[in-house]
Structure 1
């Protein structure tokens, strides 16, 4: 179980996941996130930056001297930024490609994963769309890999852009979205298998009922994303059952979608109580 936060940490550990869509382009927005939300650990996706060009000095100046990065030029890329030391940093290559989609590290007695699932293209037929076939294969490979890495008793957090909105309440229109990639039944089935691999708990739905709508992504195509309100919950935060008693809070920073130049994803926050300090029910 969780061995407790590092010296100087508060009773709650705050983790953040954000598909930033270019860390160098949106570096001022990362600083704003730090100022407004003060996370202890930040998991980034789509950093779009090779490791030598990652803004490590800037991130350290923001208060995150401990960093784990796996990036490439132009697309993909994941990172973990932390106020506390990182150990056992691992880059995970699933699906037969080294495409910088998954990194993990130990921090504060937990294993934290930053994961970016492939988008899958536009045609939801793996027979004619290689990108969709790769997405389904990648989901299966991650499920097998995480099953080997984590038992339900192992304290771990899996967060990132999963590019799947599994529940009817995770999209703006369930019936219309059933043939749209991110909400097709085959993707949802693959995501459920991934969730079952280590008994992962969907932290968001521990605080927000499953029939209540949540969105973390809004398309750039809408001139006014708030008015259109055609969002999807593509960004997820899961914990192993070992951490379920320590769940303290969940929040989507939807205002972050307005920060300029915007990412089409909003940051997502998860708060965890120190082991033994969870609130009484």
Structure 2
């Protein structure tokens, strides 16, 4: 059975519940993974999503910041949570479908503004989180799994509007790119987005600071969909839903959707 999975940093699920409902109605993914829900789990409008056909949820939450959730119209069970860095931050949740496919939903720390672990504790936290992710992947040897989320790194030159100008900007520094690649390779993941769209500029995030974000088009690909080979990614199925960034009162991220046939 083919399963469609969508990932989206919603930047407050309660503030943008209507946008979530619109996405569910227009795209009808089987599974929607949200990051930066900024809500305790008991405050997420679950009844609203259930009424739209998404009555199954696995989530972790913090009041006012972080937070991840998996909404599904297919039955799922909680597949555990990784509490990297011992901070109590809600940055990972996982769900397993009846066909055995496990979906991991991550929200990697942004890392602040200075790419220096000694001068910037936020960047040190990000690098520690990535190291823990790599170790988790190496130790657990994930199979029949999909990893999605806001990983807060644009790894390739064509994943940013200007490779040269962003080399020293957090999210595209060589040390972050190297760390993210270690996460990917140690876990045996394939970047399915770039497998489907290998060439050309590709973004999923555009800053709120740009009033004319679409024409300026100074984006970054911070959001990712990875999979193990046995998840059987459906070639050519990936879409970055850029138009969603232009909806009224949007998130600064666009959703990404892809299909799998495990």
The TM-score bracket by the shorter chain reads: over 0.9
* Separation in 1, partners of 2:58, 2:64: 19
Selected match of 1:70 from 43, 60, 74: 60
Alignment of 1:189-228 (within 5 A): 189-209=178-198, 211-228=199-216
Selected match of 1:259 from 236, 244, 247: 247
Deviates more, 1:182-191 or 1:105-114: 105-114
Match of 1:140 in 2: 131
Unaligned regions of 5+ residues in structure 1, if any? 6-11, 276-281
Q: CA deviation at 1:248?
A: 5.0
* Separation in 1, partners of 2:211, 2:133: 35
Runs of 4+ off more than 6 Å: none
Write the deviation string for residues 117-142 of structure 1: whole angstroms up to 9, x where unpaired.
00000011111000001100000101
* Separation in 1, partners of 2:219, 2:70: 26
User: Conserved in 2, the CA contact under 8 Å of 1:254 and 1:267?
Assistant: yes
Cα distance change of structure 1 residues 54 and 124 upon mapping to structure 2, 3 Å threshold: same
User: Conserved in 1, the CA contact under 8 Å of 2:149 and 2:225?
Assistant: yes
Match of 2:74 in 1: 84
Q: CA deviation at 1:246?
A: 4.1
The reply on whether 1:53 has 2:53 as its aligned counterpart is no
* Separation in 1, partners of 2:26, 2:233: 26
User: Conserved in 1, the CA contact under 8 Å of 2:196 and 2:236?
Assistant: no
Q: CA deviation at 1:51?
A: 1.4
Alignment of 1:1-281 (within 5 A): 5=1, 12-107=2-97, 108-151=99-142, 154-209=143-198, 211-244=199-232, 246-247=234-235, 249-272=237-260, 274-275=261-262
Deviates more, 1:244-253 or 1:216-225: 244-253
Unaligned regions of 5+ residues in structure 2, if any? none
User: Conserved in 2, the CA contact under 8 Å of 1:102 and 1:113?
Assistant: yes
User: Conserved in 1, the CA contact under 8 Å of 2:56 and 2:75?
Assistant: yes
Q: CA deviation at 1:243?
A: 2.4
Q: CA deviation at 1:103?
A: 0.4
Q: Secondary structure at the match of 1:205?
A: helix
Q: CA deviation at 1:149?
A: 2.4
Match of 1:278 in 2: none
